[in-house]
Structure 1
Amino acid sequence: MARRDHQDSRGRAGTRISLMCAVLGALLVSGCSSALSLPEKPQPTDAIREDIESIFGTLYGEDAVRAVLVQQHGELVYEQYQESTADDTWDVRGVTRAVTSTLIGIAIDRGLISGVDATLGQLLPAYAAVLTAETAAIQLKAVLTHTANFAPMSEERDIRGTPADLYAQPDWVAAILADRASRGPGDGRFLFSDPGTHILAAIVAEATGMSPFRFADEVLFEPLDIDTAPLWEERFAAGRDPQELLREYQEADVAWPADPQGVNLGYTHLRLRPSDLLSIGQLMLDEGAWDDEQVVSATWAVQATSPVVATVGYGTIAYGYQWWVDPQRGVFYAQGEGGTAVVIDPVRDAVAVIASEVTIDDERGNHGYASATAVGLAVLLLADLSDDSE
């Protein structure tokens, strides 16, 4: 059942023609070819088939996209796998942020966190030594919305960022907090920060007394029937080659690497199946409910996926609690660098998932461009579905 009371605030999705122009424009720039095989079942609509054939090669070419799934009214209407199967897991990259946000919401629901007005001083007492009076007063809401002036990551496509190299830090959370103290409060505007999102994962660990992965397994993945066995959450540690750990990670099934203290990377490298992403999208579409169970409160699900702050440099797109919100196109979404996206359309009561295989050291093109293109493709496919508001 789709959310009904909050659809008007999201606006209506853009027309299919304008979406096609936008995505085909990207295709012409990329010069990619499109070649794929379609499954016999389930049969897609003719419009979805057309669009897939037209733009499938945009994301680094057809050798990168691994799965395309579209679901409406809780029923799968389109499913395609390219050189993969439904059981294969992929690094969902930045979609991880939406999972971390949901864990914060569940912790609040359970009284483990008092609310989004709680401060870092209250939430991370173990780090009192590196918190200044100013950073101790930062509210959870500011971290969730990237308005707390944590540093953005570097342009490198790995975990190195600010501090200069997190791999070399004995305590990533302490290093991130110390770096934030040195930066000062900033101006309160949106500044996208993966280190800031990792602080959210540390808050989950502190509040629950377990790693975010184990908490997620208990309160989120198990209710959604997401199989995580065996849990793979190896830690980055001083003296251990991070690339060696990442190579092991790429051979794991469901996995989520952790920092030296056992805090899973709140912003990246969660490995899931495309169908798992579809379930997470459906959960948020249905305002936190799953099989008559309220996995996360409707209050949180709606707040997290509604416009909370304006963004800088992203046009009309707004931001919620680690979810992007596009009122103009009537969707909210999570995106992962390299071509993965979970896009939810409340008006059409639908979810689309694009999953791509882009390894840690992949050198093809611009990963941010690919993630935006994945979102555009998903929105285009959703626009091919019937509009329930009509």
Structure 2
Amino acid sequence: MIKMDLTLLASAIAPVNLRSCLIQRQGELIFEHYRRPQTVREIAKINSCTKSVLSALLCIAMDQGLLPELSTPASAFFPVLAAADDPRKRLITLEHLLTMTAGFSWTEFGGRNSFPHMTRTPDWIAYVLEQPMSDEPGTRMEYNSGVSQMLSHILLQTTGMPAAAFAEKYLFGPLGITQYEWETDPQGVHTGGFGLKLRPADLMRFGQLYLDKGNWQGKQLISSRLAERSVQPAIAVKDPWRGYYCWHWWADSFTVSAPSDSPDSFDYFYARGFGGQFVHVIPKLDMVVVLTHDNRKNTKYPDVFREFIAPLLAVEPVIKK
């Protein structure tokens, strides 16, 4: 077992005023913090962690043969792309959408080509598709909740089921997730990049599913091939981000110099949402770390995992199962 000083951790994260912090090791909850007792049973916005849930649903659809190869052009689902003046739009594939490398000119949090502007239009998909291109598809990651909405529409087209219904049958139901809310766009399609509300414990179930390579209590909800493939680094990201982007997941590594001056490190992948929502999965340590917050302001927010939790994990001895 990891010999984490949980008292030290509790005092270290206190100033951050987290909504919740859960750490699970080898399937056992070893640290649990809630700012208020009722938080344990309350659902709350997970913001862009929704993207990783959508990724899971798309993997399930792939396993079922409902979603075509990821090399399939996005124009197969949005014919307007095939008729676009810019030939680069015809090159966008499903994998480009999953890795945020579609090439659209997009600024996400502000400006004319942005997520806030999209949500104020009557047809989000039309808004996204009409945006100009800034890059050749596949060459640069540009964070874009618009392409996540495209993927949610594609999920509906290929499965014939809204994302929430598909999730209830193939993901939420098997995981025992019964409490949730999920927003929709003006056309009634569930939001792909944000808008899902879950309990912290249910985020932990989701993280454990990926730690166990798509297996939940002996049942393979996502094939191990796709569960692993979807969290592998696909493209390096640039400031203000760090690490790599995967299929609507992030990936990074942590290294620290131990007291003996011999470096120790681990790789991890994670879901992240605005305001401090995270699901960190650390395969080497057989561990999942869930963090939630309700920081509504776009102010500098400490990376609680890297600043307070990861250093304790990297320097302590680990006994593998």
Partner of 2:260: none
1:294 is aligned with what amino acid?
A: Q
TM-score by length of 1: 0.71
Q: 2:133 aligns with which of 175, 179, 183?
A: 183
1:387 aligns with 2:313: no
1:220 CA displacement: 0.6
What is the alpha-carbon distance in structure 2 between the residues aligned to residue 321 and residue 371 of structure 1? 25
1:162 aligns with 2:114: yes
Judge conservation of contact 1:349–1:388 (CA < 8 Å) in 2: no
Cα 1:338–1:378 change in 2 (3 A) is farther
What is the alpha-carbon distance in structure 2 between the residues aligned to residue 375 and residue 210 of structure 1? 38
1:277 aligns with 2:181: no
Q: How does 1:247-286 map to 2 (within 5 A)?
A: 254-286=180-212
Q: 2:224 aligns with which of 298, 320, 323?
A: 298
Unaligned segments of structure 1, at least 5 residues: 1-43, 229-253
Partner of 1:352: 289
Cα 1:385–1:213 change in 2 (3 A) is farther
Judge conservation of contact 1:67–1:355 (CA < 8 Å) in 2: yes
Q: 2:55 aligns with which of 101, 119, 126?
A: 101
Larger strand share, 1 or 2: 2
1:99 CA displacement: 0.5
Cα 1:302–1:170 change in 2 (3 A) is same
1:67 aligns with 2:51: no
TM-score by length of 2: 0.86
Cα 1:295–1:375 change in 2 (3 A) is farther
- Indicate the SS of the match to 1:341: strand
Partner of 1:343: 280
Partner of 2:261: none
Identical aligned pairs, as a percentage? Answer: 29
Over the aligned positions, Cα root-mean-square deviation in angstroms equals 2.6
Judge conservation of contact 1:151–1:162 (CA < 8 Å) in 2: no
2:278 is aligned with what amino acid?
A: A
Cα 1:255–1:148 change in 2 (3 A) is same
What is the alpha-carbon distance in structure 2 between the residues aligned to residue 381 and residue 221 of structure 1? 32
Q: How does 1:1-390 map to 2 (within 5 A)?
A: 47-58=5-16, 62=17, 65-83=18-36, 84-122=38-76, 124=77, 127-129=78-80, 131=82, 132=84, 134-156=88-110, 162=114, 165-179=117-131, 182-183=132-133, 185-186=135-136, 188-228=139-179, 254-313=180-239, 317-328=243-254, 329-358=266-295, 362-363=296-297, 365-366=298-299, 369-370=300-301, 372-373=303-304, 376-380=307-311, 382-383=313-314, 387-389=318-320
Partner of 1:35: none
Aligned length: 304
What is the alpha-carbon distance in structure 1 between the residues aligned to residue 309 and residue 187 of structure 2? 37
Judge conservation of contact 2:88–2:133 (CA < 8 Å) in 1: no
Judge conservation of contact 1:343–1:375 (CA < 8 Å) in 2: no
- Indicate the SS of the match to 1:93: coil
